[in-house]
Amino acid sequence: MKFGPVPVAEAAGHILAHSEALPSGRLRKGTVLSPANLASLEAAGLPEVVVARLEPGDVAEDDAAARLAHAMLPEPEASGLRIGKAATGRVNLHATHIGLVEVDAARIDAINAVHPMITVATVRPWQSLPERGMAATIKIISYAVPGDALEAACAAAPGALILRPVTRRSAQLIETVIGDGAPQKGRRAVAGRLQRMGVPMLPDVAVPHDIAPLATAISQSEAEVILILTGSATSDLYDTAPEALRAAGGEVTHFGMPVDPGNLLFFGKLGERPVIGLPGCARSPALNGADWVLERMLCGIEVSPREISAMGVGGLLKEPPSRPRPRES
C-alpha cells in the first residue's frame, strides 16, 4: 500500500486517508473515491488529497479483518463465539453464552508478530464473560495489508480462542458458626457470583464450627459444587474445614494461593465433585482469588497446584474497604 498526497484528478479508486469538509457535507476518511467525489473535491478548491493506494496483493482492511476472524474461529458455533460484522478494519468477537475465555497466548502473540498493522486484542486468559460479552477485537490498523502477511497471520490463528461453557448446574454454600453466633453474611456475595455464571444456588446450610457436623453437611450435599465458608479462617492444611472434607470421604488438593485477597483458600474433591474452602474475603462481592478458582471449576476446568502457584503475577488485587486487616495500616 502506498500512502500520500495525489492530485485530485488522479485520486479515483483510491481510499481517502483524511476526512475533508465540503460545502455539501463531510467526505469521510476511508471512502473509495468515485468520479462524483472528485468533482466535489475539485468544486471545493482542493488541488490534492491524501490517499491510500492499494498495490497488487494487498487486502483491504475489512476483508482482511474478516478473513483473520474466520481463521481464528473456523467453527464459530463450536467455539462459543460470534464473529461480528467488519467495519473500519475491525471485527469483534462476542460470547454466545456465559463462560470463560481460554486464550492460546502463543498463537495470539504469533498473529501480532506477523505485521504491525495486523492486531488482535483479547481479554485476559480465563476471563469470565456474560452472554454477548466481548472476548476479542481484531483491528487492521492501516487501510490494507499485504496478502502474504495476512496469510501468515491466518496460518497462526486456528485455536487461538475458545469460550468454555459452564458445565456445573448447582452449587451449595455451607457456613460454619462459632458458638451462638449467626452466619456472617457471606451468602449474598456468593449467590451473586453464582448468578453471574448462571448456576443455581441450593439452600445454604449453617453448622457449628467443628469437624464432625461440617463433615456431615459436606457428605449430605447434593450440589455439583460444594462451597465452604468458615466462621474462623482456615489457617492450615489440617484446620477444621480441610479435615472435615477428609472425614466426609473427600480429598484436599491444595491449600493457599499467591493471590491477595484470597490467600486462605483450599480446594479438593468429594468423589468427582469440586469442593472449595472459601477465604473470608469471599463475603465481599469484590474480586478475589476465589473467583478465579470458582469460575474455572464451574466450567469443568481442572485447577492444579501448579496453576495456582502461577497466579501470583497479577495476583495483587484491589483491597476491599471492609477488610479487617488491611495490607497497610
Question: Vertex 173, ends 172 and 175: CA angle to 5°?
Answer: 150
Please state whether 265 falls in left (phi above 0), alpha (psi between -120 and 50) or beta.
Answer: beta
Binned at pLDDT 50, 70 and 90, residue 252 comes out as: very high
- Output the pLDDT for position 322: 72
Mean pLDDT of the chain: 95
Binned at pLDDT 50, 70 and 90, residue 24 comes out as: confident
- Output the pLDDT for position 184: 67
Do the domain assignments include residue 71? yes
> Same domain, yes or no, for 155 and 196?
no
- Give the residue among 93, 81, 148 at the shortest CA–CA distance from 115: 148
> Same domain, yes or no, for 211 and 268?
yes
> Same domain, yes or no, for 177 and 296?
yes
> Same domain, yes or no, for 115 and 226?
no
For the chain, the domain total comes to 3
* pLDDT tens track for 271-313: 999 999 999 999 999 999 999 999 999 999 999 999 999 999 9
User: For the domain that residue 275 is a member of, what is the CATH number?
Assistant: 3.40.980.10
Partnered with residue 120 across adjacent β-strands are 138
The model's pTM:
0.90
> Same domain, yes or no, for 304 and 198?
yes
- Output the pLDDT for position 141: 96
213 vs 206: CA distance, rounded Å: 10
The grid cell for 14 is 483510491
> Same domain, yes or no, for 205 and 224?
yes
Q: For residue 311, what is the DSSP state?
A: G
- Output the pLDDT for position 215: 98
Partnered with residue 81 across adjacent β-strands are 95
Phi, psi of 141 (to 5 degrees): -70, -40
The grid cell for 79 is 467455539
Asked if residue 125 has a cis previous peptide bond (ω within 30° of 0), the answer is no
- Output the pLDDT for position 256: 97
- Give the residue among 94, 29, 30, 91 at the shortest CA–CA distance from 64: 91
> Same domain, yes or no, for 196 and 220?
yes
The grid cell for 78 is 463450536
Quick count: other Cβ atoms within 10 Å of Cβ 138? 28
- Give the residue among 232, 320, 315 at the shortest CA–CA distance from 281: 320
Do the domain assignments include residue 326? no
Choice among 182-186, 197-201, 252-256, 309-313 with the minimum mean pLDDT: 182-186
Show the DSSP H helices in the chain as ranges.
35-43, 61-72, 76-79, 105-114, 147-156, 187-196, 211-220, 240-247, 289-298, 305-309
Phi, psi of 58 (to 5 degrees): -70, 150
- Output the pLDDT for position 319: 86
> Same domain, yes or no, for 44 and 70?
no
Give Cβ neighbours of residue 190 (< 8 Å, ≥ 6 apart): 173, 201, 227, 229, 278, 282
Domain containing 198 equals 171-312
> Same domain, yes or no, for 46 and 63?
no
How much of the chain exceeds pLDDT 70, in percent?
99
Do the domain assignments include residue 322? no
* pLDDT tens track for 40-69: 999 899 999 999 999 999 999 999 999 999
> Same domain, yes or no, for 49 and 129?
no
The grid cell for 307 is 496453576
Phi, psi of 57 (to 5 degrees): 95, -15
Do the domain assignments include residue 325? no
Decide which of 129 and 181 is more confident: 129
| Residue 76 burial (C-beta neighbours within 10 Å; 0-12, 13-18, 19+) | middle
- Output the pLDDT for position 179: 85
Do the domain assignments include residue 321? no
Give Cβ neighbours of residue 262 (< 8 Å, ≥ 6 apart): 279, 281, 288, 289, 290, 292, 315, 317
Across the range 238-246, mean pLDDT stands at 98
